Amino acid sequence: MGLRCGIVGLPNVGKSTLFNALSNAKAESANYPFCTIEPNVGVITVPDERLQILEGIVKPKRVVPTIVEFVDIAGLVKGASKGEGLGNKFLANIREVDAIIHVVRCFDDPNIVHVAGGVDPAFDKDVIDNELQLKDLESIDKKLAKSERSAKSGDAKAKKEVVSLTRFKDHLEAGNNARSLAATEDDLEAVEDLQLLTIKPVIYVANVDEASIQSNGNKFVDALREHVKSENAQIVVVSAAIESQIAEMEDPDEKEMFLGEYGLKESGLNRLIRASYDLLNLITYFTAGEQEVRAWTVHRGDKAPAAAGVIHSDFEKGFIRAEVIKLADYQEYKTEAKIKEAGKMAVEGKEYVVQDGDIMHFRFNV
């Protein structure tokens, strides 16, 4: 499974600059390509030093990292839900993403005009939310009308749906996002087919000027934090301008030196990817052999058969067992044979819960 994030934001907040920085990111090795599969979709590899460790030990023919797709969601302006800007063109893309990256302008620059006439992170955030909420209300109202008709004929399932849909409708009409509703399993089942936009998890990216990146924020970031504190959402502070410069650098040492000048240990992109994994409760496991060392993404709490299924559905259907090695043991003993001799290879069954960083080999029979 790959992670797919949609980048949204008003005009002149730095959304396009950030997306372009991601699109131009220089790979650190030929094994880690960046590609653009559509004009508004970029695919970038997830940085993970554990891959390099395994590569050094196993010396495979190739290394395959896991990926993140970033989708530039165009057309979100005030009135988009009524056809302003690019109108409904953003809907198809945004419904398909796993998470929303909401870029908010947190810098002042007289040369870059703000659509509202002044920098106001709370206003920017609310404009986007309102457009998405209006679209969700449209979806809710259409289904609610159908469910109400069925409920009148005595359909028990429809009656439950009416209750749940009405809860979401009231919540949205009060200016709240669907994700903040204390929804029951029945509620979530009622809206599952609607792919609500505001039910998707969100990360706020505070785009600051170069001077503010060293202090991890400014008064605008503080205002954004205050405005979204009830959502318990993550805020990642980045400077799209700095990210644009980092994206052009191919030499890792040059990149490290540049980051050091701003007091940074890693790029905003890396922090954003890590925040996205945390938000969606994702972890990484590895497979390692002479042909290939590869990273795989699964949900935290997934059991071994589900992890096997990420490689191929047959692996899950015919799962017999998983052989699991910890990275520290690979580093110490160097080969699978020596790991087995030392009794450090665990043999796990269907109930084994995969741990972040596990190196796994699956036995199956179909």
Q: Which residues are bridge partners to 203 per DSSP?
A: 101, 234
Q: Which residues are bridge partners to 207 per DSSP?
A: 105, 238
Can you identify the CATH homologous superfamily of domain 130-194?
Obg-related GTPase Ych/YyaF, coiled-coil domain (1.10.150.300)
> Based on the number of CB atoms within 10 Å of its own CB, is 159 exposed (0-12), middle (13-18) or buried (19 or more)?
middle
Can you identify the CATH homologous superfamily of domain 3-49+57-115+201-279?
P-loop containing nucleotide triphosphate hydrolases (3.40.50.300)
Most confident of 92-101, 114-123, 178-187: 178-187
The listed CATH number (3.30.559.10, 3.40.50.1820, 3.10.20.30, 1.20.120.530) that belongs to domain 301-364 = 3.10.20.30
Q: What pTM was estimated for this model as a whole? A: 0.84
CA distances from 112 to 107, 147, 161 (A): 10, 48, 47
Binding residues: 12-17
Residue with tokens 């990275």: 327
191 or 119, which is more confident?
A: 191
Binding residues for ATP: 12-17
Nearest 10 degrees: CA dihedral of 341, 346, 348, 354?
-150
pLDDT single digits (tens) 40-80: 788 888 889 999 999 999 999 999 999 888 888 875 656 55
Alpha helix locations (H) across the chain? Answer: 15-23, 49-58, 89-95, 121-152, 156-173, 185-191, 210-213, 219-228, 240-247, 252-261, 268-279, 304-311, 313-317, 327-333, 336-341
